[in-house]
Amino acid sequence: MNDSLVAARVDRLPNSRMHREWMFLFAIPLFFDSCDINTFASAAPALIRHWHIAINEIALITSASFIGMFFGATLGGLLSDRLGRKRSLMLFVLISSLGSLATAVVPSVPYLFAARVVTGFGISAGMVTVMTYIAELFPARSRGTWQSWAMVINLCAIPLTNFVARLLVPFGPDGWRWVFVWGALGIAFPLIAKRLPESPRWSARAGRFDEAEAALSAMEARSVAEGNVLSSPEVVVRPPEAREPWMTMFNSVYRRRTLTLCAIWLLQTIGFYGFEAWVPTLLVHHGITIARSLTYFTLINVGAPLGALLAVYPADRFERKHLIALVALLIAGFGLLYGLSFTPVLIVTFGFAVGMLTQTFATLLYSYTPEQFPTGVRNSATGLTYGAGRIANVANAFVIAAIYTNYGYVTVFMYIAGAWFLTALITLVFGPRTTGRSLETLNPVVDEVDAASLTPLAEYPRR
């Protein structure tokens, strides 16, 4: 099957207004993913006060999101590889929004647990689909940059959500509920997602050659209408082959990539959510008022969009694995300094650095992960590795609660810093190079041919 011609036609398109429009559309589900990360973190101190629940119950509810995220990433990835990127993404955003609305009206902890599972499923499934969608739809030379810009918009959600929480949570016993209504506003996304094309890579790999040709022709026509001149596609082609089975990600070619990315996602999830999901609660238990802890948390997370902005310039100019390792080491250092700080200025300063750099890291990793797998299992493999981190954090919520209870505040941040250090080490030792390479040439290298010699898409037999 000739998906290399599809890739060459996507990769030759100059950056244009069309790509900017797609980038803004992809930023919407990413935006509400970031809202969700901070809604429960901001609501937790109020639940402790008004529902009189213990920190172990906060850990239980936090784990609910990650149970949902694991199933969302793994099952959602499989579903997206079957149904297509566009339809799946609209479905997943709808599920997450309805889950967030349900969270806003729950009467008790068991219902809250269930609502967080549903929300986590939709959020995680949508996230891995966006990562794959961007990798497949944007040119190889600039996909890291476009992912970074989408993340800049996305991460504005973190300080905005903190600000909304700062206004609403202290308002009364039910103030926290309105934060989840805010997180559900992504429910409007399916109405505007119709402007996105289906991934022609997915369409061709699914045997829908007419749909792939129509999408590519529309993209090329729009690019020309915007004043661009298209060069001849430079094609690297392989013989027609069967669609990759799910187990492809564990064969001799991809096994190391799969296991490496599972480890990276697992450790960064421990480091990232260990910080983001627990800072307000730990500050309150450390003797700081709810209002002041939310103020600190808001100031810390003002740096989130700046973190993604930091990734824009280097994302396609330097090797991504080296950037990922460097940023992870910096987070480990600043995280330790945060844990050792007990004055407001230092708490906010080092927390700001951690909050900013974790988003630089996330932006780079969102580009890095789907680049490493073939189209037929790209979303499934991305979902599996992403999901590995989410299921690990089910246990991590209880680990952090136990560390805090038995060893104290500082030890929690030593644990988080250790996770970031291991992330850097594994990336440097085992991570492959990907920057600037076509998604197809990241698979076993094949011979270059002239595009004119290729059989048109429509002449290949349907599978």
Q: Which residue numbers in the chain have pLDDT < 70?
A: 1-3, 37-38, 233-246, 276-291, 293-294, 435-463
Q: What is the pLDDT of residue 237?
A: 54
Distances (CA, A) of 395 to 238, 288, 388, 392: 44, 27, 12, 6
* pTM for the predicted model, two decimal places: 0.72
Task: Report whether 235 contacts 448 (CB < 8 A).
Answer: yes
Instruction: Using DSSP, state whether 364 is helix, strand or coil.
Output: helix
Q: Which of 82, 81, 93, 139 is nearest to 379 (CA)?
A: 81
Q: Which two tokens stand for residue 258?
A: 């799969």
Residue-wise pLDDT for 208-250, tens only, equals: 888 989 999 999 999 899 887 777 766 655 544 455 666 777 8
Contact present, 354 and 345 (Cβ < 8 Å): no
CB atoms inside a 10 Å sphere around CB 254 = 20
Amino acid symbol at 232? S
In SS3 terms, 144-161 reads as HHHHHHHHHHHHCHHHHH
Residue spans of alpha helices (H) in 369-448: 378-407, 409-430
pLDDT in tens, 359-377: 899 888 888 888 878 777 7
**Rounded to the nearest 5 degrees, what angle is found at the Cα of 343, between the Cα atoms of 337 and 349?**
50
Which DSSP string do the residues of 179-196 spell out, in sequence order? HHHHHTGGGGHHHHGGGS
Q: What is the pLDDT of residue 442?
A: 54
Both structure tokens of 191: 């109405």
Would you state the structure tokens that stand for residue 396, as one six-digit string?
Answer: 């991590």
Distance CA(311)–CA(360), nearest Å, equals: 6
What's the token pair of residue 439? Answer: 């998604």
Q: Which amino acid is at 350?
A: F
Element containing residue 235 per DSSP (H, E): strand 235-236
CB 204 within 8 A of CB 197: no
Question: Burial letters for 165-182: b for 16+ Cβ neighbours within 10 Å, e otherwise?
Answer: bbebbeeeeebbbbbbbb
Distance CA 132, CA 147 (A): 11
Q: DSSP 3-state assignment of 374?
A: coil
Tokens of 392: 């690990």
Report pLDDT for 453.
39
Phi, psi for residue 236 in degrees, rounded to 5: -110, 115
Q: Look up tokens 């099957």; give the residue.
A: 1
The full set of domain ranges for the chain reads 3-225+253-439
Q: Which of 62, 50, 159 is nearest to 113 (CA)?
A: 62
Predicted local confidence at residue 278, as pLDDT? 63
Of 3.40.50.300, 3.40.1010.10, 3.30.70.120, 1.20.1250.20, the CATH number of 3-225+253-439 is 1.20.1250.20
DSSP codes of every residue in 65-106 = HHHHHHHHHHHHHHHHHHH-HHHHHHHHHHHHHHHHHHHHH-
Residue 294 · residue 42 · CB < 8 Å: yes
Q: What confidence score (pLDDT) does residue 115 get?
A: 93
Terminal-residue alpha carbon distance, the chain: 9
* Torsion sign across C-alpha atoms 369, 371, 373, 376: positive
Q: What is residue 86's predicted lDDT score, i.e. its pLDDT?
A: 92
Say if residues 371 and 434 touch (Cβ distance below 8 Å).
Answer: yes
Strand partners of residue 348: none
Q: What pLDDT does residue 329 have?
A: 94
